[in-house]
A and B are shown apart, each in its own frame.
Chain A
Amino acid sequence: MSTRDIVFVALFAALTAALGLFPPVTLPVVGVPITAQSMGVMLAGALAGSMRGGAALALFVVLVCAGLPLMAGGRGGLGIVMGPGGGFVLMWPVAAFVIGYLYERSLRTLTVWKEVLILVASGVVLTYAVGIPWIAAVARIDLAKAAIGSAWFLPGDAVKVVLVVLIARAVRRAYPTLQAR
């Protein structure tokens, strides 16, 4: 990684932390908070690309595990990863990498709908595929209950996907940072 890549990694890790300054709303039953931080994941993938975006979120997760209070509501520590939301948090670096990879692959042919599809497939579906079984295991509830409980995230996710598409398109026009694969 070049110095510029390192600075970008730090920038998107910090952006994800800064998005945690918006107060979280905790879901009943599953006990996982809705935060603006998953927007940081999508923005890191869409603007920094696969390697830098994935590294940014990996760095963020390491800092959280080391106990820094960077998660929404000033939370931090290994307890986050071992709590009900741990599956989602551990998937963040993977999701950022996959989003970045798909963006780089289709950079020349991106349409609004393609961007929505990429973000929903990797930012939402892929994350839930690990997050929901994780909730079920940690909170000792059955899979169906965990899935229904997590459905409360979906309206928030829809808003976040729309915002990220609008922001990413505008930023790409003003300051292109991705390289097509």
Chain B
Amino acid sequence: MTPYVPGASPVHRCPPGHKILGLVAAGTVLFALPRLGLALAALGLAGLLYGVAGIPARLVLAQLRPLAWILAILVLVQLALDGWLAGLMVAARLAALVLLAGLVTLTTRSADLIEALQRGLAWLRFLGVNPAKVGLAIALTLRFIPVLAAITAEVREAQRARGLERSLVALTVPVVVRMLKMSDDIAAAIDARSYDPDGTGH
């Protein structure tokens, strides 16, 4: 996951809800209107905002590195089918969206992001879903991803000692069982601290 880079720039101080809405709007506009000029403008805007937020160039490149292959393939396919302008448009659009999404996570503390998402999902209450529970689920999900990665690394080491490092089943089953056990402990720990999102008092 993208780390948070502390700062006091206008991008950092912009309310997280506005940042998410801006991201959603950018994605919608770029996909609804596939124009090269628009995609390049979005890319330029992303660059400008990174400059305003004072994010080091090293982190900007780190955002784009996992995309390199997908970008290359997309560009090649578009080149073969629609010519180089379409290829450039698709690449610029994808790069712009990934950079903008990265900017939101780089300049927003995850607690603030979760709080904004929870407020944005307040309408779920009318469907009988408690937004506070959704907020808890979001927070737990973001926490579980690095934990899962760590457990997987541990189990892989243990299975390598048994010569089982090539078996996906021998890797996944212990990871899932450990996570399930851990989930029960976490649920018990949350309940033990009187977590009561419904406010029923019991």
Quick one: CB contact mask for B62-98 with A, threshold 8 Å, 1 for yes?
Answer: 0100110110011001000000000000000110011
- Contact of B77 with A63 in the complex, beta carbons under 8 Å: no
**Contact between A59 and B137, CB atoms less than 8 A apart:** yes
| Inter-chain contacts of B31 with A (CB < 8 A) | 78-79, 82-83
Q: Are B28 and A174 in contact (CB under 8 A)?
A: no
Q: Considering only CB atoms and an 8 Å cut-off, how many residues of chain A contact the other chain?
A: 53
Known: A43-B176, A77-B23. A67 touches B104 (CB 8 A): yes
Distance in Å: Cβ of B85 to nearest Cβ of chain A: 17
Q: How far is the CA of A174 from the CA of B173 in the complex (A)?
A: 9
Interface residue stretch chosen among B4-12, B157-165, B186-194: B186-194
| A74-B133 in contact (CB<8A) | no
Interfacial residues of chain B within 137-181, with CB under 8 A of chain A in the complex: 137-142, 144-145, 147-149, 152, 168-169, 172-173, 176-177, 179-181
Please indicate the chain A residues that have their CB under 8 angstroms from the CB of B20 in the complex: 66-67
Query: B27: which A residues are within 8 A, CB to CB?
Result: 67, 77-79, 82
Contact A18 to B141, CB < 8 A, known contacts A67-B23, A68-B101: no
Fill in one digit per residue for A1-39: 1 if any B CB lies within 8 Å of its CB, else 0.
111101111110111011001011010110101000000
B183 touches A67 (CB 8 A): no
Beyond A18-B152, A67-B104, A78-B24, whether A47 also contacts B98 by CB under 8 A is no
Contact string against B for A residues 51-82, beta-carbon threshold 8 Å, 1 for contact and 0 otherwise = 00001000110110111111001111111001
- Whether B30 sits at the interface, judged by CB under 8 Å, is yes
Q: Report, as a range, how many residues of chain B touch the other chain.
A: 35 or more
Q: For B137, list chain A residues within 8 Å (CB).
A: 6, 9-10, 13, 55, 59
The CA-CA distance from A163 to B168 in the complex, in Å, is 8
Within 8 A of A (CB), among B35-71: 63, 66-67, 69-70
A75–B147 alpha-carbon span in the complex (Å): 20
In the complex, are the beta carbons of B70 and A79 less than 8 A apart?
no
CB <8 Å contact, A68 and B105: yes
Residues of A contacting B77 in the complex (Cβ-Cβ under 8 angstroms): 28-29, 31
Which residues of B lie under 8 Å from residue A6 when comparing CB positions?
133, 136-137, 140, 187
18 contacts between A and B (CB under 8 A): A1-B133, A3-B195, A7-B140, A7-B184, A10-B138, A13-B141, A14-B141, A14-B145, A18-B145, A23-B69, A43-B176, A47-B176, A60-B141, A62-B121, A70-B145, A74-B98, A79-B97, A83-B31
Identify the B interface with A (CB < 8 A): 1-2, 20, 23-24, 27-28, 30-32, 63, 66-67, 69-70, 73-74, 77, 93-94, 97-98, 100-102, 104-105, 117, 121, 133-134, 136-142, 144-145, 147-149, 152, 168-169, 172-173, 176-177, 179-181, 183-184, 186-187, 190-191, 195
